[in-house]
Amino acid sequence: MADAPADPRLFYDRHVFMCNNVRPEGHPRGCCMARAEAAGGFDKLRGYAREKARQLGIQKVRFNAAGCLDRCEFGPNMVIYPEGTWYRYESQADIDEILETHLKNGGRVQRLMLQPDQLPPKH
Ligand code: FES
């Protein structure tokens, strides 16, 4: 296999993809958008995350609204790249903890992490 050329440096240090997929009420898988309602709504939570990152001095991070990440049953979901770490968040306090522990200090919030072997049930 030929050596791959070196990748250019990162433009953003991290991308946080936050699912805001909407499904019709009663869909067996549910959706992150509906589950985020209980915590104040997706738009408010994403806006909160952006502002909190700014307050914490976290730079070069982008919070993107994402389509379905296909782990709907565990949502509302976010996944942080380049690490590929998945979190379920339910409140602004969860977002605080993820931003401070993971994005700012490089740790992990074990209690909110999704594991690779957590699979959606078959429908
Ligand atoms: S609706 Fe969010 S992962 Fe599918």
Q: Is 34 in the pocket of ligand 1 (CB under 6 A)?
A: no
Q: How many CA atoms lie within 13 A of 38 on its CB side?
A: 9
Rounded to an integer, the average pLDDT of 43-69 is 97
The CATH number that applies at residue 106 is 3.40.30.10
How many structural domains is the chain composed of?
1
- Residue 7: inside a domain, yes or no? no
In residues, how long is the chain?
123
Read off the pLDDT band of 49 (50, 70, 90): very high
What is residue 34's predicted lDDT score, i.e. its pLDDT?
96
What are the tens digits of pLDDT across the range 100-120?
Answer: 999 999 999 999 999 999 887
Domain that holds residue 34: 14-58+74-114
Is the beta carbon of 19 within 6 A of some atom in ligand 1? yes
Claim: this prediction has a pTM higher than 0.75: yes
Residue 67, domain member (yes or no): no
**Assigned domain for 2 exists:** no
Query: Please, are residues 32 and 76 in contact by the beta-carbon 8 Å criterion?
Result: yes
